Chain A
Amino acid sequence: MRLRFNLVLGLLLAAIVIIAGVFAAWIAPYHPIIDADLMNSEMPPSWEHWMGTDGQGRDVFSRVLYGAQVSLTVGLVSQLINSCIGTALGVSAGYFGGWWDDLVNGLTNVMLAIPSLVFALAIMAVLGPGLPSLLIALGLTNWSWTCRIARSSTLSLKNQGFVQAAKVAGFGDGNIMRTQILPNIIGPVLVMATLGIGGAVLAEAALSFLGVGIRPPQPSWGNMLTDARELLRAAPWAAVFPGLAIFITVLGFNLLGDGMRDLLDPHMRTRRA
């Protein structure tokens, strides 16, 4: 069954990445920064170094594990910020309409017109590199699609009988948005958020690759790729494994989002007999 396959594989991949990140300190055989063995640099994968060593003799496996921490934090936190901004703006714009809707629409269009990576780059340039500025930069630049989806879903819901019935029953607008509209649009929003986690992981990698994200020597998949770029021929494993980690993370969260959407479909949910 397609539903189970998506969900299980997505959950599995996401779980691997999450476990890797959370337990990096216990799993990693070497320290990602201090254990630099210049005598053993650019070593291919072996029993001692499962993913080989990089140009400075650091264990790639350990660095990939610690890199997962950065990627997950950036992915989850920035998407949480994006989803909150997008949903709040989209639902209120769709529900109230009028000048507020025009304003939010205009803002969304501006955000969509600016490439989000370029915008994030600009914010990073102002805030300086580092994890907190990464979270802010990626959290403020990728809410426009969520906003659009939340708005259009709200528009189609707000004239339906059950929303009107809630108004007629005397519920306030805030209550209606929270109890009537939000539960019915959470599916698409969640899917957007989960897909966005993959996007944010990629964006973090790109920003770190460009040198404005996570500062070396702290490992992130992006700056590992930067380091590995120069020795792509001599030590391809130093680039392949962080790349593979990015691939697995993005694929995992995308499948998870897909599976979650199917699961959240109310028609799939029946009363437990």
Chain B
Amino acid sequence: MSTPLLEIRDLTVHFPLPKPFLFGSTRVLKAVQGVSLTLNEGECLSIVGESGCGKSTTALSVMGLQEPTSGEILFKGKPLTGPNAPTRKERARIAQMVFQDPYASLNPRQTVGRILAAQLALHDIAHGSEASHRVADMLSRVGLTPDHADRYPHEFSGGQRQRIGIARALMLDPKILVLDEPVSALDVSIQAQIINLLMDLQETLGLSYIMISHDLSVVEHVSDRVAVMYFGRVVEEGDWHSIFSRPTHPYTRRLIGSVPDPDAILSGDRGLPDAAEIPRNARFSPDVSRKPDPHENVEPSQLVSIGATHRVRLAQ
């Protein structure tokens, strides 16, 4: 098997929590615990799970915005983390990111043209009129018009801003695009447009996507492979078909069950407890009325293959 484009090996990220007043030991939030994932060239890997499950932290680690506690991330076999990690500038050519909130992701004081062109000058790709030419080109590519370059971000709608965010991420011609909930802040009708744009771009530019989402209905349209995360671990991973046609882990089933269905009968559901409160070996309980029981103390198993590309974690 050839080297995957991106390989996440046993990634662990811990955050120290503030100490309780005077006494008490430092608590640690184990946001990501031993996540291993691969991304092949030209594919879209989706990481799904609820908020606090560590999917965004995983994405930030890939981007170098979050230092992993342990584990490594390899791009074409070369480490992106640790002592031999590339500089911020070198990394920029490898992976770029589209952010969740289109309102916070554009500097309100810069024109769209400047937002897009600044990185070209930094990386010495293009200057002056050549840069504005590229900006105009990219704007039309994401469905805007070249004259939008002179405007400020507040003159655009949410969907247009997200297009600008995508344009910014593509200016350096990266190999990987990390999409952190790219459409969750948008109206449903706009969501479809952005999803279609992302799929078009993937095809024409040969990009590889890592898409972070809590919404399976979005993931369903773009993903080649899906990884389901639950409290810092991958509980099920597989190609699109196996996850959606044969969801095996009870948590995956519940996620798929949570996709809005007009015919569904509403039932009372309760939220999950704080991520920091979850004991290390917590098991997912298919019975939503039950909290994870720390006394069961079952060691989480490894992911077990149950199909050609389909793996599931048994104990957790």
Interface on A for B, CB 8 Å cutoff?
Answer: 160-162, 164-172, 175, 179-180, 183-184, 266-267, 269-271
Contact = CB atoms under 8 A, between A and B. Distances in A.
B109 interface: yes
Interface in B81-99: 87-93, 95-97, 99
B155 interface: yes
A170 B65 contact: no
A73 B118 CA distance: 38
A266 B104 contact: no
Contacts of B100: 161
25 contacts: A160-B104, A161-B99, A161-B101, A161-B165, A162-B104, A164-B65, A164-B99, A167-B65, A168-B63, A168-B65, A168-B97, A169-B92, A169-B168, A169-B171, A169-B172, A170-B91, A170-B119, A175-B122, A180-B107, A183-B109, A183-B110, A266-B108, A270-B152, A271-B150, A271-B151
A267 to B, nearest CB: 6
Contacts of A266: 108-109, 152, 154
Q: Which 8 A-B pairs have the closest CB atoms?
A: A161-B105, A170-B92, A161-B99, A170-B89, A183-B109, A169-B119, A162-B107, A160-B104
Nearest to B150: A271
Interface of B: 63-65, 87-93, 95-97, 99-101, 104-110, 115, 118-119, 122-123, 150-152, 154-155, 165, 168-169, 171-172
Contacts of B168: 165, 169
A270 B101 CA distance: 22
B99 A170 contact: no
B96 A271 contact: no
Nearest to A272: B150
Determine the main DSSP class of A at the interface with B.
helix
B122 A161 contact: no
Contacts of B155: 270-271
A170 B152 contact: no
A267 B154 contact: yes
Contacts, number: 84
Given A168-B95, A184-B107, 20 more contacts: A160-B105, A161-B99, A161-B104, A164-B105, A167-B64, A168-B64, A168-B91, A169-B168, A170-B90, A170-B93, A170-B122, A171-B118, A175-B122, A179-B107, A180-B107, A184-B108, A266-B109, A267-B154, A271-B150, A271-B152
A169 B122 contact: yes
Contacts of A162: 104-107, 115
Nearest to B180: A161
Contacts of A184: 107-109
A179 B108 contact: no
A170 B100 CA distance: 20
Contacts of A169: 92, 96, 118-119, 122, 168, 171-172
A165 B97 contact: yes
A160 B106 CA distance: 9
Contacts of B154: 266-267
A166 B123 CA distance: 12
A270 B151 CA distance: 8
Contacts of B115: 162
A162 B100 CA distance: 11
B64 to A, nearest CB: 8
A162 B169 CA distance: 11
A161 B106 contact: yes
A175 B96 CA distance: 19
A269 B152 CA distance: 9
A167 B101 contact: no
Contacts of B93: 170
Nearest to A160: B104
A49 to B, nearest CB: 51
Contacts of A164: 63, 65, 97, 99, 105
Contact of B122 (A171, A183, A267): A171
Contact of B88 (A161, A165, A172, A270): A172
Given A170-B91, A171-B122, A266-B108, A165 B151 contact: no
Given A170-B92, A266-B154, A271-B152, A165 B109 contact: no
Contacts of B89: 170
A153 to B, nearest CB: 13
A165 B99 CA distance: 8
Contacts of B88: 167, 170-172
Interface centre among A160, A166, A168, A183 (most CB of B within 10 A): A168
Interface centre among A160, A175, A184, A271 (most CB of B within 10 A): A160
Contacts of A166: 107
A170 B104 contact: no
A169 B168 CA distance: 9
Interface centre among B90, B97, B165 (most CB of A within 10 A): B97
Contacts of A172: 88
Contacts of A160: 104-105
